Amino acid sequence: QVQLVESGGGLVQPGGSLTLSCTASGSFFYIHTMGWYRQAPGKHRELVATITNGGRSDYADSAKGRFTISTSGAGDTVYLEMSSLKPEDTAVYYCSVKVQHITNTQTYWGEGTLVTVSS
């Protein structure tokens, strides 16, 4: 089993910045990919950004130039630095981690952290 602990959500004014973090712990061989998704009220969950264990990152068009995904040196924590936040960035942000077990890979999800962008 893998546990994900997210932190960093909250209320921020338009144009402000916020950094989310998510730490993975538990039993697994290694992490393939870590990422962030978000779900706004009344909308489907969507990709924000992902990063592989090799450091390759990928961003949704809405995140490019404003958000930066990174991992800790140990590779068990993923960060999402968000700047120039807009009201449309308001959503519950979910951490996602794909890990390698003995015989299979599995993706785990965090419980989500709410980001509200409002004046």
pLDDT digits (tens, 9 = 90+) for 67-94: 999 999 888 999 999 999 999 999 999 9
Residues of the chain with pLDDT under 50: none
What integer pLDDT is reported at residue 14 of this predicted model?
98
What integer pLDDT is reported at residue 73 of this predicted model?
83
What integer pLDDT is reported at residue 95 of this predicted model?
97
What integer pLDDT is reported at residue 81 of this predicted model?
98
C-alpha dihedral (118, 78, 41, 119), degrees to nearest 10: 0
